[in-house]
C-alpha cells in the first residue's frame, strides 16, 4: 500500500478549526524564528548556530534557491509511490531523521520523544552518539521502528567496540560514521555565550551508561561528573582518523556502514574503494567549516562519480518538500532532515516532531503530484532548471 502523505493537508483543515492543531507552523522555514520564542538563548543558539560567519549555512539555502522545479502536466499523477529501498529495507518515503545530539536541551523527553515520532510515521531514526538518552532506552522508545546508529568515533578502541556492540544488540541496523566533527568548529554563537551543553553533563548518556567507559573512571559519573565529562570529551574530540582505520569499524559492525560528511568527489571515491555501503553528502548544516561548498552544490558531481556504486544520501539546508524533490532529482537516494524536526521537538515534543515530519512528507507528496511525478525514479535532471 502506498501511503497518501498529502492527506495530512485534509487532516489539518478538518481538525485545525479548533485552533489547537497544528502544534507549530506547517512552513518549516518559519520554525527557527518560532523556536527562538520557546527556547532559552543557549539552547536556541546551539541548534540554530553555525560555524564562523554562517556563510556555509547560508550557502546551503541559497543553493536550493538556484534550482527550480519545472512542472509537467497531464501525467495522471493521481497515484504516487514515494517508497524506496535502502540496504534491502523498504522506506515509505526517502526521508530519514538526521542524527542530532543533546536533545535534552530542547525538550525534557528528548530522544525518546523523537524516536517515538519517527517510528509512528515509519521513518528511520538515526541516534546520535551525543544522545541525552541511552542506546537501550531509545531502542525501547523506537519499538518496531527502523533505527540507525551514528558514531562519533572514540579514540579508545575498547569503548568504541562496546558502544557498537550495544547498538547492534539494541536493534540498530546501519552505522553512520560522522567524519566532519572530529573536533568542534569555531562557533561564535556558542562561544559568545560560553555555552557548551556537554560541559554540564548533557548529551553524555551513552558513555555514562557504558560499562567499558565506566570501568576506566576512578570515580563514577554520578560521583564526579566533570571528570567523566572531560574523559569522554578527550576521547571523541581532538583526534582525526585516517582511511586506513575503517577496517576496525568493519570488524565491529556486520551491517551496512555509511560515511557522513563527504563533500569532495575524491573522498566519495575513496569511500567506495574502502568498501563502504553509503555516504551522506553533508556539511553538517554549516556547523563545521565556514566558507565551505553548499552541500547541494557538491551533490551532482559526487553522484556522477559514485552514484552507481554506493548509496548516496544527502543533508544540509533541507527545509521544504520542494528541497527534498530537488535533492532527489540531483541524484540523492534519500535525504536526512535536520533542524526542522528539532524545532518541532522544542515546540511540542513527540507531537511536534511528528507534525514536522508529516508536513514535509505531505509537501513532498503534493510537490511530486503537482509537478507530474508518480514515483521517485521520475525525478531527474530533466525535472529541474538552474537559474
List residues near ligand FMN by CB under 6 A.
46-47, 60, 98-101, 128, 130, 150, 178, 260, 282, 284-285, 315-318, 338-339, 342
Closer residue to ligand FMN in complex, CB, 22/99: 99
Closer residue to ligand FMN in complex, CB, 111/350: 111
Closer residue to ligand FMN in complex, CB, 60/209: 60
Closer residue to ligand FMN in complex, CB, 141/345: 345
For 285-310, letters b (16+ CB in 10 Å) and e give bbbbbbebbbbbbbbbbbbebbbeeb
Q: How far is the CB of 15 from ligand FMN (least distance, A)?
A: 28
DSSP 29: G
Helix count and strand count (H, E) for the chain: 16, 12
Query: At 147, which helix (H) or strand (E)?
Result: strand 147-151
Mark whether 284 is an active-site residue. Answer: yes
Closer residue to ligand FMN in complex, CB, 91/295: 295
Residue 61's CB is within 10 A of a number of other CB atoms, namely 17
Q: How far is the CB of 260 from ligand FMN (least distance, A)?
A: 5
For 105-141, letters b (16+ CB in 10 Å) and e give bbbebbbbbbbbbbbbbbbbbbbbbbbbbbbbbbbeb
Q: How far is the CB of 321 from ligand FMN (least distance, A)?
A: 14
Contact indicator for 325, 272 with CB cutoff of 8 Å: no
Q: How far is the CB of 43 from ligand FMN (least distance, A)?
A: 9
Report how far residue 81's alpha carbon sits from residue 92's, in angstroms, rounded to the nearest whole number.
8
Contact indicator for 249, 277 with CB cutoff of 8 Å: no
Q: How far is the CB of 372 from ligand FMN (least distance, A)?
A: 27
15, 252, 264, 284: the catalytic one is: 284
Q: Which residues are catalytic, by number?
A: 284
Amino acid at each position: 500500500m502506498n501511503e497518501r502523505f498529502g492527506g495530512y493537508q485534509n487532516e489539518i483543515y478538518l481538525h485545525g478549526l479548533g485552533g489547537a492543531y497544528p502544534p507549530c507552523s506547517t512552513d518549516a522555514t518559519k520554525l527557527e524564528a518560532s523556536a527562538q520564542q520557546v527556547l532559552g538563548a543557549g539552547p536556541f543558539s546551539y541548534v540554530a548556530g553555525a560555524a564562523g560567519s554562517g556563510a556555509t549555512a547560508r550557502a546551503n539555502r541559497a543553493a536550493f534557491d538556484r534550482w527550480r522545479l519545472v512542472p509537467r502536466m497531464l501525467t495522471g499523477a493521481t497515484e504516487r509511490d514515494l517508497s524506496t529501498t535502502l540496504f534491502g529495507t523498504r522506506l515509505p518515503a526517502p526521508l530519514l531523521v538526521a542524527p542530532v545530539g543533546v536533545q535534552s536541551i530542547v525538550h525534557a523527553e528528548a530522544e525518546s520523544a523523537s524516536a517515538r515520532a519517527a517510528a509512528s510515521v515509519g521513518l528511520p531514526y538515526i541516534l546520535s552518539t551525543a544522545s541525552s538518552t541511552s542506546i537501550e532506552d531509545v531502542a525501547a522508545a523506537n519499538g518496531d521502528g527502523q533505527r540507525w546508529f551514528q558514531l562519533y568515533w572514540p579514540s579508545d578502541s575498547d569503548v568504541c567496540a562496546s558502544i557498537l556492540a550495544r547498538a547492534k544488540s539494541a536493534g540498530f541496523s546501519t552505522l553512520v560514521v560522522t567524519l566532519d566533527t572530529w573536533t568542534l568548529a569555531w562557533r561564535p554563537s556558542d562561544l559568545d555565550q560560553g555555552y557548551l551543553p556537554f560541559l554540564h553533563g548533557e548529551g553524555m548518556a551513552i558513555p555514562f551508561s557504558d560499562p567499558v567507559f565506566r570501568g576506566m573512571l576512578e570515580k563514577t559519573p554520578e560521583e564526579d561528573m566533570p571528570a567523566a565529562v572531560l574523559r569522554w570529551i578527550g576521547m571523541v574530540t581532538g583526534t582525526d582518523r585516517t582511511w586506513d582505520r575503517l577496517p576496525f569499524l568493519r570488524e565491529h559492525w556486520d551491517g551496512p556502514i555509511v560515511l557522513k560528511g563527504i563533500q569532495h568527489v575524491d573522498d566519495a571515491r575513496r569511500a567506495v574503494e574502502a568498501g563502504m555501503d553509503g555516504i551522506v553528502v553533508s556539511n553538517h548544516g554549516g556547523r563545521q567549516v565556514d566558507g565551505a561548498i553548499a552541500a547541494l552544490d557538491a551533490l551532482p558531481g559526487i553522484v556522477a562519480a559514485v552514484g552507481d556504486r554506493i548509496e548516496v544520501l544527502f543533508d544540509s539546508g533541507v527545509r521544504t518538500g520542494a528541497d527534498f524533490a530537488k535533492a532527489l532529482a540531483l541524484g540523492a537516494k534519500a535525504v536526512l532532515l535536520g533542524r526542522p524536526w528539532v524545532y518541532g521537538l522544542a515546540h511540542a515534543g513527540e507531537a511536534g516532531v511528528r507534525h514536522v515530519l508529516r508536513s514535509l512528507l505531505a509537501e513532498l507528496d503534493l510537490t511530486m503530484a503537482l509537478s507530474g511525478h508518480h514515483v521517485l525514479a521520475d525525478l531527474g535532471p530533466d525535472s529541474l532548471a538552474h537559474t
